[in-house]
Chain A
Amino acid sequence: MLDRKTPPHIYDAIEFDFTLPQVNTYVLDNGIPLYWLKAGVQDVVEVDWAFPAGLWHEQKQGVANTVASLLKNGTSKRTAQQINEAFEYYGATIKVRPGNDYAIVSLYCLAKHLPQLLPVVQEMLTDSVFPQEEIDIYKQNTIQRLLVSLRECEFVANQKIDALLFGENHPYGRFTRKDSIESINREDLLEFYNKSYNLAGVKMFMAGNIGEHETKWVNEIFGLAPIVHTPSNELSFELHTAKELKQHFINDESGVQGAIRIGRLFPNRHHPDFAPMVVVNTLFGGYFGSRLMSNIREDKGYTYGIYSSASSMHHGGSLTIHTEVGRGVIENAIKEIYHEMDVMCNERADDEELLLVKNYLLGNLLGDLDGPFHIIQRWRTLILNGLDINHFNRNVQVYKSITTAEVQTLAQQYLDKKSFHEVVVI
């Protein structure tokens, strides 16, 4: 008779070794650094260009996003249609993601198509012209999309919590408005493009089933471009965290749910508390078995999901709890969230629970180190933050070794309910 009660033996992931495969550094003829690695069996490749062209670097609101969206909408040689056609014909994807600090241009394609596609990217990055008609269409459609998004409580709540934490004039806190999109003009875009998408400031990344052959192709296209260093005038902004701790309002009278965001400012990944807080946050609200999910979804059924997550930016960070709950249980849900914070601060987690969180986190890390795109993403984060392999190795060590006492001490420091801002949007 099969014994179904006794679980099979578990090998604890905290005992595993974690190796981040090395990345190769290649310097193109003109000095652009290319970080690349070979992994995987499918003949695919990802190439990234990271520019300091995120929200932090814009002088006028909305410009970073608009430039990112319109990069592939016309060069002096090709129309938007021709550019899109060039990528789509080969089944390739080009994405431009404007983040808080960096904007990352990513090309995903079959490796054999690089010679056809790299020149198109090169044109986009050195010769975009932002045709007026493309700008007009973009502005009109972005405003239309914004009108739809503004009906969603989740969207509005996300805007509000960041504005409370960082201030409405801070790059991490300000949000898109209809009038800010309307006021953007072609000169703004060209100025930002020329300043921020300068190849002198780019870092390139490449991963896939590739080798030196492909790095040569990159060099042939990108290594020849002239590099003009311009003096960078680093912008700085002051935080204006709102005095008012709570903001509740009704965005949609007929809404049947409320979006709850409870957040605070939080150190970024350079801070020694960041790595251990990854463990604390996972336990608190970072995975399906977390305290928040177990209580508010799996016990009370107030929500389809609840998470807490940390965001790390160059010049700051935040820790935010987010959930959408039934309109009738908003107050109960908020009460339970604060209750779980109190429990984190006042009671020490038991060893079994912490071991589970560590095994979960590290088991997932093992999966996250699998495949070329995952590995290069780790390296991109390290390199763009000025960190190296030692940082990765130290973090793994922290995930493995943190104690329940340390978890409680960190919770007392970072999960004290008095230091959180609260937003509810119905």
Chain B
Amino acid sequence: MRSTPTILATAAAALAALALAACGSSESGSSTATGSASVLSTAGYQSPATESLSGKRGGTLVVLQESDFEHLDPGITYAALDYPVVFATQRPLYSNKPNSTEPTPDMAASAPEVSADNKTVTVHLKEGIHFSPPVNREVTSEDVAYAIERGLNPNVANPYIKTYFNSLEGIEQGNGGPIKGIETPNKHEIVFHLDESKGSFVAEALVLPLTAAVPKEYAEKFDKNKPSNYASYEVATGPYMLKNNAEGKVLGIGYVPGKSATLVRNPNWNPATDFRPAYLNEIAIKLGGSEPVIDRQVLEGTNIVQNEPVPQSGVRLAAEHYKDQMDISPGGGNRYIAVDNKVGPFANIDLRKALWAATDRDALDRARGGELVGTVATHFIYPTIAGFEQAGGAKGLKVDYNEHPEGDMAVAEKYIKLAGYPSGKYTGSKPIQVVGASSPPEKEDSEIVNQTLKNMGFNTKLTLVEISTMYAKYCGVPKEEIDVCPNVGWIADFADPQTVLNVTFNGKSIEPTGNVNYGQTDDPKINAAMTAGETVVGRQARATAWAKIDDELVEQAAAIPFDWEKTPRLEGKDVHGVAMIWNEGAWDYSFTSLK
């Protein structure tokens, strides 16, 4: 899971084995995101799912961006805001087209080959891909090997390598030097040897930017620094590069922290090797300012876009006056009310169902900004992720507590009675702990949930803290025994349904700190289904298997999903912006063009 402005927890738990049919099958190039029309529909606004990918060549795009980048080094980057620059400059082995959540070979020449025992993954590289100046030479498999190896260098410290590549032979000993399990038989072939049958899982993870080639002889000296300053000198393989000088220095030239970043064309990029059209000549990113002001500048300006979550005022301004300058992307993750399945009143399944029934999901979504930024959720696998349709699509599982998005106290009372409270109101006197975030819209959602709990008879203690504190100190720490976290969410790193459900609801993934199984769901039946689901092969079969687990979670009312997020972005009058449906609707600079 990537860190985003609203979700800061990282998956500390290692993901278990995942057997997948080789990704990047022949139809992947033309595939589009998963989701029924109603949920993917964006009420007449542009959507990356339907956006035309053609455009006019040339011009400079100005990007106004309030926040600075976290990391532009392909080995470290893990934030939605960094990805637009990273994916315009770097080519991982596989990438997502902006309108797709299924990978396309990028640096790779073809789909990965997974051995029959699921323990070896072989990838062939395209020929004729060169690094940008000053390195200039052709990319080889050793550069990909080094890119992954350096992820274990403590000076680089990639945040997810141990989660997705933990089955690589010798990864435990890795410290930046060669990893035993990565072999490069020739210049255009790389082989991953695993000590467990997780080949398909590793194959799927090759879409992560960690697999973007890094030239060892050039980067090594920077990686010796603590922390590595390769980003200040980084070279590109994509259509664009951060502007640099003859020595390759980017810092202060193509990237001035807190001020600007400038992407120019990579002279060594060969369009014949890439699916990216790269219409723009230059992307000038200006850092700083304030989002509400930026929104106005963008909507009234030309050649200009913003690239961060749009506050309510901006969505409203665009909807009322600049309707065709807003692009709304579905698939921005799910949001749900986490309830403690292990300790306290919500260990009782009927009380969980009662809360589900009583929750006014319409109101929660309204407080988040209404239909343009979210859809009422009825289960956990969200639109654009495989398995969404199989899990019931927009309607979800047909159970009485899931049928009334506006909340139904009668159904709630039925379940409260089933839980052993004959009056239909909860009568336990011990106050329950509710911890939410203090910033809008999480603040509003927390207060709505708090009120719902009170209406059900609970004596609540609501505390609102900073969102990072909420995850780090309370909702992610089981021993704090927080009964209700009204506003947690999850965004998958790639579109396999396992990445949505496994760490978040698998009993095996519960951690003492940094826990992301917020409700400590630990149901033997669900755990077993997940273990089986990890080894299912084939995209369709996997979608079905994990959709069943999703159904099971709904039947258990493991948590109460209320929102599938949509993310709007704003563009200037003459910009044909193309957003990445797989990356929270951030603009794809390699596909965006000027009209």
Whether A associates with B in a native complex is: no
